Amino acid sequence: MVFGRIRQKLKNKSSSEGTPWQRATAELERQRKEQEKLHTTKKSGMQFFLEGKKAKKKTSKHLSESAKTGNRQGYFVWYGIFLIGAIGSGFLISPYGKVKDIYVEGAEAVPEQSIIDASRLTGKLTTLGAVWNDEKINAYITNALPQVKTAEVTLRGLNDVTIHVTEHETIAYVYSDGSYYNVLENGTVADTKLKVPIGNNPIITSFEMNQNLDDLLEQYLQLTVSVQNSISEIKYTGTEENPYAITVYMNDGNEVKAILPSFAEKILYYPDIVSQLGETKGTIDLEVGVYFTPFAQSVEEGVSASADSATPTE
């Protein structure tokens, strides 16, 4: 009974595990399937890699062609610009590009022909050369004509140039030997002679072209614009005892006595002094302190002095 159970158990075990040949065959089949599965996985990865590389290559090729097209267009643009520039430059430096007409803009006090002469521009110079030598031409004009502050040369068409001028402002006139000379905002006295002054700027008279005039201009430049505009004339009235004396005639009718060293400092008080005088006109003495003498009193004193000094007739 026991032997029968043992035999049955061995039989079941043998049938479930199979014979050695069957087990070997099953093992070989399993290994074959695993190898096929591994091969398929490798093939899929390789195929994906090759397809990605192919797509990337195709995209790169497309971008390369686009870049080449853009470069060709850029080359054409730059070539066109270069060609136009070369043609224009060639014309400007050729005999056909020489200066034909010269125009002047911005000149008021200085004659236009004087500016053209000072610029040294002639028909022998090309328009391109005139523009390139702009700084040198500016130096020619400003050195020859102190009234000119700046001068700039620009093209006007193909054969013409324009000189754009900025002038120094005239702040007064010096009257000497029958002519008027501009006093410029930088303190320079221009050499140009004028028969009559232009505008309502103060007139400086009886001064010689010496240190006294330089001292006056140094003082005058310190004045405010409002005070400068209130002056009609500045006259040198110096003597041996007082070589720095000046008389200033104001537009409102008053006269001011002053001396050169303190003129700018004391004349600044003029508006306050006048506000206290009201409508009374006279002489304001600023030489030492501040003194006011009405014109009527001055006339009376003069008449009285003349009567006292008269010799009675028999």
> pLDDT at residue 247 above 90?
yes
> pLDDT at residue 172 above 90?
yes
User: What whole-number percentage of the chain has pLDDT above 90?
Assistant: 49
> pLDDT at residue 275 above 80?
yes
Please report, for residues 51, 154, 249, 276, 295, the alpha-carbon distance to residue 281 in angstroms, rounded to integers and kept in the order given: 109, 55, 12, 11, 6
Check residue 10 and give its pLDDT: 44
Check residue 97 and give its pLDDT: 72
Give residue 30's pLDDT band: very low, low, confident or very high (50, 70, 90).
confident
pTM of the model: 0.60
Give residue 139's pLDDT band: very low, low, confident or very high (50, 70, 90).
very high
Check residue 167 and give its pLDDT: 95
Check residue 314 and give its pLDDT: 34
Task: Please provide the average confidence, as pLDDT, over all residues in the chain.
Answer: 79
User: Position 197: which residue type?
Assistant: P
Long-range contacts of 114-123 (CB under 8 A, 24+ apart): 114/145, 115/141, 115/145, 115/148, 115/151, 115/163, 115/165, 116/163, 118/144, 118/145, 119/151, 119/153, 119/163, 121/153, 121/161, 121/163, 123/98, 123/99
Q: What is the pLDDT of residues 208-224, one digit of tens each?
A: 988 999 999 999 999 99
